[in-house]
Structure 1
Amino acid sequence: MAASHLLSSTREILDKLIGFPTVSADSNLDLIAYAANLLEDCGARVSVSGDGTGSKANLYATLGPETAGGLVLSGHTDVVPADPAEWHSDPFSMREADGRIHGRGACDMKGFIAAALAKAPEYAALDLRRPLHFALTYDEEVGCFGARQLAEDLRRSELLPSVVIIGEPTEMRVIEGHKGCYEYTTSFYGTDGHGSEPEKGVNAIHVAARFIGRILELAEDMRLKTGADCARFSPPWTTLQTGRIEGGSARNVIARHCTVEWEMRPVREADAQQVKAALEAYCRDDLLPRMRAVCPDADIVTEVIGEVAGLAVMSENEARDIVRALTGANLCDVVAFGTEAGLFQALGMSVVVCGPGSIAQAHQPDEFVSLDQLDKCLDMLTGLEETLVNPA
């Protein structure tokens, strides 16, 4: 069990973090400034890197020696929107009841960030022989844009870390693999007209419906591509789904424009490439010729919102081995939801996902993390001290 003062500090910091309404559509700069001040007070070397708009930033801070091979504690600072009408209290004001801390982001993933920041002064007091880095990113929820920027910054660094622990809510289970997350918006441009003469226009909604039908066909194809490499996932295949469709102006007007927001969660990179190629061919060889036979300017445009690789299960994974030893886990698991892990793994780092709270609470009204989960997280972070002071 973590020391009482450490849990108390974590609660105080989490109260502050929840109070920053860092919905992905809004700025995270106040939270980043707060975290930077805490880490600078510990003597950390802090770097804040903006996104170019002036409203978002990553934070990357280091304690210990200026060498490669360090260990990273990583978390995203953005949260999904919260409708106050669906909550029993203000989503952006921490509420504690029955051993739980409620608030938007409490488990996804400000609880882990608060625990890491609470531990920072204790890490700073040690004679660290291995660098410890804190990485706080922006816009994970809408495409992992902050982690992509951080990955590029690290790629150019001569002091590349070797181990990353991402504190997404796993109930402190050790997660060594997860599916990718690929998100797109496909827009269909036709031509309008009177609903009584549909053959004289190109109805973008009708074209979009055919496109969605092809997505459903490919989803069924993917269900058949199971195998030993995906048996541990639930479901054990690459999934596709349409999340949102918008178009048209009135029931008696041919719709000139329609957008479809869709995603896939590939088990394998090859699955993702197969789906993309099939949909591109369907648009190019089937849908577009039919559209342009009526309207030469008709078009289909797909915007890549985010293509985040999965976390591949590796036979050798120092991050996994460290966290297994610290948590006492006999087994590791894989999950269907995505994280920033694949971006770090692509740089050659070993990565594991392990953090307090349940993914079942993420994005939900009255989101919470239990004090018991925070306590277990703090125990893990305290156990890291030996790895940092006496690296193998």
Structure 2
Amino acid sequence: MKDASSRDTAHARLGDAKAHLKDLIAFDTVSKNSNRALIDHMAAHFEALGGEITVLPDETGEKANLVARFGPADKPGVVLSGHTDVVPARPQNWSTPPFAMDEREGRLYGRGSCDMKGFAACVMAAMRDIGSVDLKRPLYLCFSYDEEVGCLGAPAIARHLAALDVPPALAIIGEPSDMTLVTGQKGKIAMRATVQGTSGHSSFAPNHVNAVHYASRAIAMIEDRARRYEAEGPFDRDFTVPHATTLVTMIEGGVATNVTPDRCSFTFELRSIDEAAARTDIEALLAEITQGLEPKMKDRHPEAGITFERIFAYPAMGDASGTEAFAGLRGIMPEWSGKVSYGSEGGVFEVEGGIPSVIVGPGSIRQAHKADEFVEIDQIDACLGFLDRLFDEVGVQTD
């Protein structure tokens, strides 16, 4: 049972986490916007606590990653990782303003409260007493830009850490996992297809190459591939969706009701449970669409066809539970819940930085990307408790 002093400390830290979350939500860091103001805010906080600060800007200088190190640089440490960008929010769909935190019924509402400023707020609050302790191994607090649009910022962090004289041994990604342990994450390839046809008055449609019609056939082939994944696998029952998935997410084409459309574009994705299979699967799918449709299109007009562009891709995260680094922290890890189908920067840390990764974070992914996004206060409290145990395990000693 906690004594009164411990309860008071825990209550104060929870209050700090709420205050930090309120501040973080107020920064409109939708991915199309700059995140520099938020990064500067967090950097100032960690620097005041004694952290060694490294800011890694993108080419424009409008966006940046943050790395704050606490503890010795000559030991393999632990990364606590989160992203600072959020998905768009339409205020008309929200009960309260999305960029102003609202507390009600044991929940903290606001865009990013769950995904994943709640984790960042917990880290900021947990570090409040870091000046009075002695870290035997380093902690690297890493916060990135543009995770929501393809994990664009994280590779620079991973490469920075990998280039250190003594790189970190393990990364803990604070994506919402209901404060359970996640040991795998799917990779994703996002593609754009552009179908080029020929146009004219729709009364002469048989003389044209209808781009929308051919796009619909390509979309049907993508749907067929998705159904085959469902029926044939391969399967990994540890995942929330135990097979690969592919689907079309956006489509655009046509100019008027009486004009045969000469152009149609659509985006689609493949989420994979196996990194090598993802590359061969996407190549096979593109070849199937091209070989199945382009000859018919070009028979009618030589300039008709389909082109594909990769928008972004990020790698799957493997199972780090068998590594030596994980073994050293196994005793403080929460209950295992499996592997997840959503994306994270864990795969980037593994592939780009050689740093084994797991996911542990507050909130439910079911609340992410929705209007009235929220995180349970109990989840924030649980995350603070987990960080306490982690700090003890990496060698924090009070004066």
Q: How does the TM-score come out when normalised to structure 1?
A: 0.93
Deviation, 1:54, is 2.4
Deviations 1:172-202 (A, max 9, x none): 0110112222211111222221112223322
Q: Does 1:214 align with 2:221?
A: yes
2-structure distance, mates of 1:238, 1:319: 29
Q: Read off the aligned partner of 2:212 and give its amino acid letter.
A: I
Q: Secondary structure at the match of 1:3?
A: helix
Unaligned runs of 5+ in 1: none
Offset, 1:204: 1.4
Q: Does structure 1 retain, via aligned residues, the 8 Å contact 2:173–2:358?
A: yes
Say if 2:35 is the partner of 1:28. Answer: yes
| 1:317 positional shift | 3.4
Is structure 2 residue 129 aligned with structure 1 residue 122?
yes
* Structure 2 residue 252 is the aligned partner of structure 1 residue 260: no
Q: 1:335 aligns with which of 329, 340, 351?
A: 340
- Between the aligned residues of both structures, percent identity stands at 40
1:298 Cα shift?
Answer: 2.9
Quote the offset at 1:129 in angstroms: 1.6
Cα offset, 1:135, TM superposition: 0.5
Aligned CA distance change for structure 1 residues 53 and 189 (closer, same or farther; 3 Å)? farther
* Aligned residue among 39, 64, 77 for 2:46: 39
Cα offset for 1:287?
Answer: 2.4
Partner amino acid, structure 1, of 2:92 = A
Determine whether 1:81 maps to 2:85. no
Task: Give the secondary structure class of the aligned counterpart of 2:23.
Answer: helix
Alpha-carbon offset, residue 376 of structure 1: 0.5
Is the 8 Å Cα contact of residues 138 and 147 (structure 1) preserved in structure 2? Answer: yes
How far the C-alpha of 1:315 sits from its partner, in A, is 5.0
1:65-121 Cα deviation digits (max 9, x unpaired): 112511111000011111111111110001111121110000100000011011223
Alignment pair present for 1:196 and 2:203: yes
Partner of 2:393: 387
- The answer to whether the 8 A contact 1:101-1:371 is kept is yes
> What residue identity is the alignment partner of 1:366?
D
For residues 134-160 of structure 1, the C-alpha deviation after alignment (integer angstroms, 9 at most, x for no partner) is: 110111111000112322333433332
Equivalent pair of 2:170/2:355 in contact (CA under 8 Å): yes
Q: Which residue of 2 aligns with 1:248?
A: 254
5 Å-filtered alignment, 1:364-379, equals: 364-379=370-385
- The secondary structure found in structure 1 opposite 2:148 is coil
Q: How is 1:352-371 mapped onto 2 (pairs within 5 angstroms)?
A: 352-371=358-377
CA distance in 2, matches of 1:376, 1:126: 22
Counterpart contact for 1:317–1:351, Cα < 8 Å: no
Establish whether residue 300 from structure 1 lines up as the match of residue 306 from structure 2: yes
Q: Aligned residues, how many? A: 389
**Structure 2 equivalent of residue 278 of structure 1:** 284
Which residue in 1 is equivalent to 2:3? none
CA distance in 1, matches of 2:312, 2:25: 26
Does residue 26 of structure 2 align to residue 15 of structure 1? Answer: no
Structure 1 residues 266-307: Cα deviation after superposition (integer angstroms, max 9, x where no partner): 111243233312222134423233333333333422222221
Amino acid at match of 1:212: I
Question: 2:240 matched to which residue of 1?
Answer: 234
Q: Distance in 1 between matches of 2:54 and 2:45?
A: 13
Determine if contact 2:180/2:334 at 8 Å carries over to the other structure: no
Is this contact kept in 1: 2:25–2:111, CA < 8 A? yes
Distance 1:302 1:59 in 2: 34
CA RMSD of aligned residues (A): 2.0
Which shows bigger deviation, 79-88 or 153-162?
153-162
Q: Is the 8 A contact 2:179 2:363 kept in 1?
A: yes
Instruction: Report which stretch shifted further, 204-213 or 310-319.
Output: 310-319
Query: Structure 2 vs 1, CA of residues 207 and 158 (structure 1 numbering), >3 Å: closer, same or farther?
Result: farther
Distance 2:178 2:325 in 1: 17
Match in the other structure for 2:296: 290
Taking the aligned partners of 1:49 and 1:311, their CA distance within structure 2 comes to 23
In the alignment, is the contact (CA less than 8 A) between 1:123 and 1:385 conserved in 2? Answer: no
Distance 1:105 1:20 in 2: 10
Unpaired segments ≥5 residues, structure 2: 1-6
Give the whole-Å Cα distance in 2 for the aligned partners of 1:148 and 1:328: 27
Q: Which moved more, 1:215-224 or 1:18-27?
A: 215-224
Distance 1:153 1:288 in 2: 44
CA contact under 8 A between 2:63 and 2:145: conserved in structure 1? yes
Q: 1:132: Cα distance to partner?
A: 0.6
The CA distance in 2 between the partners of 1:280 and 1:360, in whole Å, is 31
